[in-house]
Amino acid sequence: MSAAHGAAAQGGAAHGAAALFRELTGAEPAGLWSAPGRVNLIGEHTDYNDGFVLPFAIQHRTHVALGHRADRRLRVVSTFAPDAVEIAFDDLGALFPERRDDVEEWARYPLGVAWALLRATGAAPFAGVDLVFDADVPVGAGLSSSAAIEGATASALNDVWGLDLDGVALARAGRRAENDAVGAPTGIMDQMACMLGREDAAIFLDCRTLEAQVVDLGFAEAGLELLVMDTRVKHAHSTGGYGGRRVACERGAALTGVSALRDLGVADLDRARGLMDDVTFRRVRHVVTENQRVLDTVRMLHDEGPRAIGGLLRASHASMRDDFEISVPELDLAVATADRAGAIGARMTGGGFGGAAIALVDRELVPAVTAEVERAFAAAGHVAPLCFTVRPSRGAARD
C-alpha cells in the first residue's frame, strides 16, 4: 500500500497503479478508475437492521488501472500484495462462495465484484481484463479500504463492460462480494457511501429502501475539521464479534415480533426489555437509540449546524461502548482524550473491535487534540495512533 495519508498520496496511488500496469504489460492502461474510503459520522450497526446511517466518502482513494485482454480471463494485481491472481470467467462461479479460501484474501474483493456483476447481469459475453490496484486508504483502520477496492472494480467493469448499472446496483454488487466472496456479513453502508459520495456532504441513507439524501455538513464554513484517530488495532469483520452482534440483533427483532430492529422506536424499549435477556436487550437498545441519533443529527445539522451535534456523537460512543460492547480500550482512550482536549464530540467509527475513532474539532485545535491523543497513547503504553483530518469527497468514478 502506498504509505501516506495526505492528499498528495492520491496522485501517488493513481500513478502507482499505472506504473505497475506498464511494468507488467509493457503497455498503457486503457483507463484509470478510483473509489474512496469512508468515515461514518453516525449510525453504527444500524445498516443491517434496515435502519439509518450518515457516512461520507473521504479523500483517500483506491485506484485501478485497467487493460483489455484478448481472452476471457481476469487478472488482478496490486502494489500491496506480492502475487497476481488470474482466473477464467467461467471458473468464477465454482470459486464463490464455496471455494473462496483458495484465493488470497485481498483478491476476493475484486474477483468477488466481477462474480457478483456477472451474476447480476446474466451470462458473461465480456472480454477479459487486467486490473492493477494501488491504494492510499489505510487498511484495517475502519475506513472501508475493502469498499474502496470493490467500488473501483465495480465502477471500472461497469464502464468497460457497458453494463449501465447505477450507483445503487454497483453498491449491491460490492456488498455481495463482501458477504459471499469474502465471507464478512456486513451491511451496505460502506459500498453506498463509496459509490454515492459528494464533496462537502454526507449521505443520509435509509438502509431499508436504499433511498439516499445528500446532507450538507457545513464543517468548513463553521471552521471545523473531522479528525481521524486510527488506533492501529486491526480488526476483520469476517471473523469474531461483528457476526455475533448481527445474530443478537436478529434475535432481538424476532423476540419483539418485528422484521428488523428499524421497526422499533425508543418508546418500545420498555416493552422489549421484558421479552429478552439483558445482553440481547442492550444490543437492541443500541440499535434503536442509534437510529434515533441519526435522525436527530440530520435535523440538528439542518437547524443548528455542526456545532450542535457533539452530544449525539458522545452518546453514540457511550452506547457502543456500554450497550453494544464493540469498543476497545484504545478507542475509548482516543474518544475521551479528544473530548477532554476540546473536541465538539468524538466517537468510534465503523464496525468496531479496533480501527479508528473520529473527533469533530475546531480547526485551530487540531494540533493540540492530536498531541494530547498521542501523549495519552504513549502514557498508556499503546502503539502510537495515526491522526489525520479527512474531508467529504466524491464517490467512485473514472479518473
Query: Which of the residues are catalytic?
Result: 190
Q: Which stretch binds ligand GLA (CB under 6 A): 42-50, 115-123, 196-204, 387-395?
A: 42-50
Residue 390 CA to residue 216 CA, distance in Å, equals: 15
Burial class from Cβ neighbours inside 10 Å (0-12, 13-18, 19+) for residue 326 reads: buried
Does residue 163 contact residue 121 with C-beta atoms inside 8 Å? yes
Contact call for residue 48 and ligand GLA (CB under 6 A) = yes
Give the number of C-alpha atoms closer than 13 A to the C-alpha of residue 113, restricted to the C-beta side: 24
User: Judged by CB, which is closer to ligand GLA: 58, or 365?
Assistant: 58
User: Judged by CB, which is closer to ligand GLA: 17, or 182?
Assistant: 182
Q: Is 210 helix (H, G, I), strand (E, B) or coil?
A: coil
User: Judged by CB, which is closer to ligand GLA: 306, or 350?
Assistant: 350
Among 134, 190, 225, 330, binds ligand GLA (CB under 6 A): 190
Q: Which stretch binds ligand GLA (CB under 6 A): 13-21, 41-49, 92-100, 359-367?
A: 41-49
User: Judged by CB, which is closer to ligand GLA: 5, or 237?
Assistant: 237
Contact call for residue 187 and ligand GLA (CB under 6 A) = yes
Contact code string over 332-361 relative to ligand GLA, x by CB under 6 A:
------------------xx----------
DSSP annotation string for 3-54: ---STHHHHHHHHHHHHHHHHHHSS--SEEEEEEEEEESS--S-GGGT-EE-
What residue number has its CB nearest to ligand GLA? Answer: 351
Q: Which three cell numbers stand for residue 226?
A: 473531522
Contact call for residue 76 and ligand GLA (CB under 6 A) = no
Contact call for residue 47 and ligand GLA (CB under 6 A) = yes
User: Judged by CB, which is closer to ligand GLA: 87, or 326?
Assistant: 326
- Looking at 274-365, list the stretches that DSSP marks H as alpha helix, in order from N- to C-terminal side: 278-303, 310-322, 329-340
Burial class from Cβ neighbours inside 10 Å (0-12, 13-18, 19+) for residue 196 reads: buried
Contact call for residue 186 and ligand GLA (CB under 6 A) = yes
Angle among Cα 206, 211, 212 to the nearest 5 degrees reads 85
Please list, in sequence order, all residues whose beta carbon lies within 8 angstroms of the beta carbon of residue 184, skipping any fewer than 6 positions away: 146, 178, 236, 237, 238, 242
Residue 76 CA to residue 216 CA, distance in Å, equals: 37
User: Judged by CB, which is closer to ligand GLA: 152, or 189?
Assistant: 189
Contact code string over 213-242 relative to ligand GLA, x by CB under 6 A:
------------------------x-----
* Residues written for the chain: 399
Q: Which stretch binds ligand GLA (CB under 6 A): 152-160, 182-190, 249-257, 269-277?
A: 182-190
In whole angstroms, the minimum distance from the beta carbon of 386 to ligand GLA comes to 18
Binding site for ligand GLA (CB under 6 A): 40, 44-45, 47-48, 186-187, 189-190, 237, 350-351
